[in-house]
């Protein structure tokens, strides 16, 4: 069964989802936390890694929407 990477799936979602839903997908990919209970949540792809992939990718449908979703990440 063919599968795609998390990054490629995120870009592909850029052709299907409204920007607010794409931002929610992005948050799911990059979210992390260090709770006092349970296992910490680690990002599937760190923000910097996702940003780098988006910046260095072109000619794929959905990349413009993916770039917009990345640009909406608030700095910490």
Q: What is the pLDDT of residues 5-44, one digit of tens each?
A: 999 999 999 999 999 999 999 999 999 988 888 888 899 9
Fill in the DSSP letter of residue 41: B
Q: Does 52 score more than 70 pLDDT? A: yes
pLDDT at residue 75 in the model = 66
Compute the CA torsion angle 19, 43, 5, 16 (nearest 10 deg): -10
Contacts of 42 (CB under 8 A, 6+ apart): 32
Q: Which two tokens stand for residue 42?
A: 């680690």
What are the residues whose beta carbons fall under 8 Å from the beta carbon of 2, sequence distance 6 or more? none
Could you tell me the pLDDT band of residue 76, with boundaries at 50, 70 and 90? low
pLDDT of amino acid 36: 84
Question: Is 74 a residue whose pLDDT tops 80?
Answer: no
Q: Among residues 32, 59, 63, which one has the least CA distance to residue 48?
A: 32
> In angstroms, what CA-CA distances link 72 with 27, 37, 69?
10, 30, 5
């Amino acid at each position: 069964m063919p599968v795609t990477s998390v990054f490629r799936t995120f870009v592909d979602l850029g052709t299907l989802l409204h920007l607010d839903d794409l931002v929610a997908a992005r948050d799911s990919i990059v979210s992390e936390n260090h709770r006092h209970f349970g296992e910490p949540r680690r990002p599937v792809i760190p923000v910097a890694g996702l940003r780098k992939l988006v910046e260095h990718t072109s000619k794929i449908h959905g990349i413009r929407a993916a770039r917009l979703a990345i640009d909406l990440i608030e700095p910490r």
